[in-house]
Amino acid sequence: MSTDTWQIAAVVAMVASLPLLAWAGNAEALAGGVAGGAVFTVGAAALTVLRFAPTEED
């Protein structure tokens, strides 16, 4: 897949994790909050790596 496709997938995963982050304040949903945080963090890391990845133009 192209870098653009990976960036779009990372953003979609991060946005999808936001409800899990919102539920983190609820003690029963703490595991969901942790999972959402993990997805968001991995997505942010992926976007950072992809931002500085060499492209076909480089």
Q: Which two tokens stand for residue 44?
A: 């942010």
- pLDDT of 1 reads 60
Inter-residue contact 3 to 43 (CB < 8 Å) = no
Write the pLDDT tens digit of every residue in 2-58: 667 777 777 787 777 777 666 655 655 667 667 777 877 888 888 888 777 776 665
Q: Where exactly are the structural domains of the chain?
A: 3-51
DSSP 53: S
pLDDT of residue 52: 76
Q: Please tell me the pTM assigned to this model.
A: 0.47
Give 24: exposed, middle or buried? Use CB within 10 Å, 0-12, 13-18, 19+: middle
Higher pLDDT pick, 52 / 1: 52
